[in-house]
Amino acid sequence: MNMPPIVSPQDWQAAREELLVKEKEVVRARDALAAQRRRMPRMAVEKDYAFEGPDGPVSLLDLFAGRRQLVVYRFFFEPGVAAWPESGCRGCSFMADQVGHLAHLNARDTTLVHVSRAPQADIERYRTRMGWQIPWYTITDDFDVDFGVDEWHGTNVFYREDDGQISRTYFIDKRGDEALGTPWSYLDITALGRQETWEDSPEGYPQTEPYVWWNLHDEYDDPTVHAAALSEVTNSQRGAKSQLS
C-alpha cells in the first residue's frame, strides 16, 4: 500500500490541527442541518395504519408508546429476502447491531421501532438470536408503500400532537441511514432535536441544559437533574475545552 509518510510528533500535530479546522466545519454544518430539519413543514398522516405486535394488533399511534416522537426503521425481513426465514437483510441487521441503548432516546420522549413484513413468530426468533431489544412490528397494510420503504430500507420520523394527530416530520434512506445508531444521530433527525439549550430551535421548543439530563440507562425510571454535571470538576472531566466543540 502507498501509505502516508512517518513524521515527527510536531509535524503530526500540525497536520492534525489543519484537518481539525475542516472537522469543526463539518460539525457546525451538521448542527445547522439539524436546525433546518426542526423547521421542516410537516405532513399530516391521514390514514389509520395497522401493525401486528407481540401482543396483537396495534396502530401507528400505539407505536409511539405514549411518547411524543417516533422513529420507524423499515427492516427487510420477509419472504424474498436472502436467507429467509433464517435471517434478514445483512445491511438492516448491520444497522440493528449499531443501535445504542434505547433508554437514552426514551428519556427525550422518543421511541425507536423496526417494522417488517415477516410474521411475529419469525421476528421474535430472529430478534432473540441476534440479541436485539428494539420493538419490532409486522406491517399489515400499505405503510411501507406510502412512506417510501417498500423497495428500499429507510427511516421515517413522526410527531404526535396532544389530540393524537400524527405528522410525518422527516425521512432518511440509502447512505443517510448508515450514520444512524447513536441516540444523538436519531435525535438530530427528529422535530424536537436533542432538546438542549445550545440548539437553534424555534421558540417554545422543549429544551434543558446539556449534560444534566444524561443518566445511566437503568436509572431513567427515577430521573433527577444531574447537578454534578455542572460542577467545575465534571466540567474538566468532560472536556470543556474540547477542540471539536
pLDDT of residue 39: 98
Judge if pTM exceeds 0.85.
yes
Low-confidence ranges of the chain (pLDDT < 50): 240
pLDDT of residue 211: 82
Other CB atoms within a 10 A radius of the CB of residue 199 amount to 18
pLDDT of residue 72: 98
Interior/surface letters 84-97, b for 16+ CB within 10 angstroms, e for the rest: beeebbeebbebbe
- Helix 90-97 and helix 120-130, axial crossing angle in degrees, nearest 10: 60
Backbone angles phi, psi at 43, to 5 degrees: -110, 120
pLDDT of residue 227: 55
pLDDT of residue 210: 86
Query: What is the sign of the dihedral through the CA atoms of 131, 136, 138 and 142?
Result: negative
